[in-house]
A and B are shown apart, each in its own frame.
Chain A
Amino acid sequence: MLHRLTISELTARLARREVSAREATQACLDQIARVDGDIRAFISHDPADALAQADGADEAIAAGADFTRQPLLGVPIALKDVLAVKGQPLNCCSQILGNFRSPYDATVVEKLKAAGAIIFGRLNMDEFAMGSSTENSAFQTTRNPWDTARIPGGSSGGSAAAVAADECIASLGSDTGGSIRQPAALCGCVGMKPTYGRVSRYGLVAFASSLDQIGPFTKDVRDAAMVLEAISGHDPRDSTSVPQPVPHFSKQLTRDIRGLRLGLPKEYMVGGLAPEVKAAVDAAVKQLESLGASVQEISLPHTDYDVAVYYIIATAEASANLARFDGVRYGARVDGADPLEMYGNTRGAGFGAEVKRRIILGTYVLSSGYYDAYYLRAQKVRTLIRQDYLKAFEQVDAILTPTTPTPAFKVGEKSGDPLQMYLSDIFTIGCNLAGIPGLSLPCGFAPDAKPGAPEAKLPIGLQLLGKPFGEETILRIAHAYEQSTPWHKERAL
C-alpha cells in the first residue's frame, strides 16, 4: 500500500527506516501495471531506471542522508511529457518530435534530483499543452480514475490521473490557462500554479512564454508546498525567472486563518455553473468562515473578456514558439523539393488539429494589418484584467472560486466544438493573464450517473488565487480547509 502514501508520510517512514525507497517505487510500478491499461496516464516509463534510482536513494539513506537537506529523498515523482530529462524521450505528446531525446535536464528536474526525488515516466498531455481534456494527445486518451468514461482534464491530464490513481506519489505538470488546476479539480487532487517567474521555465517546452508555469500535482496541500519549495527559485538560464527568495512554504502551514479576508467574485457564480459545483463551493465558504476567515463579494469586472484575451495572446505566443518545429534540426521530417515545402509538409503532417488551429489563429492575430486590432488590443485588455485582480487584493487576502464550471465531462463530449472546450477554462484563465499564483484542491463530490455504480462520484475543485508571490497565504488557507474536511482522504481506486 506504499503507493497510497503522501510525500510527507513516505519520507517519514523512509527516515525511520521502516520502508525502503525500492519498496515504495516497486509499489508504484505495481500499481501502474495493475491500472494503467485502463487509465493510460503514462506514455512510457522505465522501471529498471526507476528502481536503480531508488537503490541510490536507499544507499544515501543508509549512509545517513539528511532529509532536511533532501526533503524528497526516495519519493517517486513522474513528469508531464513537456519537461526535458536528459537522455529521455521528449515529445509533448506530438508526432512532430519523432524520436527526440533531450540532451539536457530542465532546471526543475535538476532541482528535484538535488532534493533526492526519483524522477520517472513520461505522462500524457494534450499535444504541446493545447487542450483541456488530454484528448488532443497524438498518442492516447487518458481516462479519469474516478470514472473511466470521462476525461481527466487537460492539458496535464496524465499528471493528474497518475496521482489520483496512486501510480506515483506526486507529479509535475505545466499551466498556461489552467492546465494544472483544472485537471487537479477533475481528478480530485491538489494542483498548483506558482506566480509567474517563481519557477524556472528552462527545460519546459514553451507554449506561451508569458503565461507558462510549471507546478506540482499532489495528494495533499503539505506535499504541494514541499514540491513547490524544491522547484522554485531564480534561474539565470530563464530570463523571466524572478529574483524573489523562496519562502519555506511547508513550514508556514499553521492552520490559523483567523482574520484572513477572502473574496468571491460575483462574475464567477453565475449561469453555466453546475448546481453541484455551486453547492460545494458555498459549503466551502461556510467551512472557511467557521475557521475564522471572512468571505465577501468582490468584482472582477473584465472577467467576460478573459477567454478572448487568452486565445489571442496564448496562440500568438504559441505561433512563435512552435515555429522551431520545422524538420531541420530535430524530430520527424517529411521531405520537400525545397526547405519551404519541407517545412509545410513536416508541420502539416506532424501537428494535430488543435495545434494547427492555434498556430493559424496566432499567426493571423500577429499578421500585418491585424496586429493592432487583435494582439495589441488583447494586451491592453490584459492590463485591465490584471488591474482588476490587484485592485481586489487591496480588499482581500485571497480570492475563492470554483475551479471548473462542471465536474469531469465524458470523453468526446466537447471535442467536436473547439470554442465550447475553450469556454470551460473560464475560471482558470484570468490567473495566468495576471501572473498571480493559484491552486485547486478537492472540496466535495458530485453524484455520477455511472451504470451499475450507484455510489459513483466525481470530484469538485475549489480554487484559491493569491497576490503576486503570495503562495504562502493560499497554501495556508488551503491546508486549513483541507485538514478540517474529509475530501483529501478519498481515493479513486
Chain B
Amino acid sequence: MVSGVSAPDFDIKYVAHLARLKLSPEEEQRLGAQLGNILGYIEKLKEVEVSGVEPTAHAFPLVNVFRADEPRPGLSTEDALRNAPKQSSGLFVVPKVVE
C-alpha cells in the first residue's frame, strides 16, 4: 500500500513557486520524497470507475444564497489595520510592486 513510487512529473520547485513557498534544498529533498510517497498511494483512485459520476463539491449544496445588495458596515479601517505588520496613512505597506 505504501509504495515507493514517485509520481512522474512532480516538480517540487515549480509547485512550491506556484504556492509562494520558499523551501530550503533540504526541505525540497525531504518533502519531495514524502510527497512522492503520498502521490504513489493516491494512484489507487485510478482503479475507480467514475464515468457518468457527477463530482461533489459540497455535501449539501445550497442554491443562490444571496442577501439583498444593500451596503452594510464592515470592519472599521482601524480594526482592519490593527494587526498589520507595516502600515502608513491607513494603508498596508508592502515592498515595491512595480518599478
A-side interface residues toward B, CB under 8 Å?
98-101, 103-104, 195-197, 210, 236, 239-240, 242, 302, 304-305, 307-309, 311-312, 319, 323, 326-333, 335-345, 347-349, 351, 353, 356-357, 359-361, 363-364, 367, 374, 376-384, 386, 418-420, 422, 433-436, 468
Cβ B60 vs Cβ A343 within 8 A: no
| Given known A-B contacts A328-B92, A357-B31, A419-B38, A240 and B62 have beta carbons under 8 A apart | yes
| Given known A-B contacts A305-B44, A374-B42, A377-B45, A338 and B97 have beta carbons under 8 A apart | yes
- For residues 11 through 40 of chain B, which have their beta carbon under 8 Å from a beta carbon of chain A? 12, 15-16, 18-24, 27, 31, 34-35, 37-39
Question: Closest chain B residue to A99 by CB distance?
Answer: B83
Cβ A381 vs Cβ B50 within 8 A: yes
Cβ A344 vs Cβ B22 within 8 A: yes
Chain B residues in 8 Å Cβ range of A345: 22
Chain B proximity of A331: nearest CB distance (Å): 7
For B44, give its contact among A308, A336, A344, A468 (CB under 8 Å): A308
Cβ B86 vs Cβ A333 within 8 A: yes
Cβ B85 vs Cβ A331 within 8 A: yes
Question: Closest chain B residue to A307 by CB distance?
Answer: B41
B-side interface residues toward A, CB under 8 Å?
2, 10, 12, 15-16, 18-24, 27, 31, 34-35, 37-39, 41-42, 44-46, 48, 50, 53-60, 62, 65, 67, 75, 79-80, 82-86, 92, 94-97
A contact patch SS? helix
Chain B proximity of A375: nearest CB distance (Å): 9
Chain B residues in 8 Å Cβ range of A332: 85
CA distance A374 to B43 in the complex (A): 9
Chain B residues in 8 Å Cβ range of A319: 19
Cβ A239 vs Cβ B62 within 8 A: yes
| Given known A-B contacts A312-B42, A335-B95, A419-B2, A435 and B23 have beta carbons under 8 A apart | no
Would you list 18 pairs from A and B whose C-beta atoms are within 8 A, ordered by A residue?
A: A101-B83, A103-B79, A308-B41, A309-B45, A330-B83, A332-B85, A333-B86, A338-B95, A343-B20, A357-B35, A357-B38, A360-B16, A361-B38, A363-B15, A367-B18, A419-B2, A420-B2, A422-B38
| Given known A-B contacts A104-B75, A304-B44, A305-B45, A419 and B60 have beta carbons under 8 A apart | no
CA distance A469 to B7 in the complex (A): 39
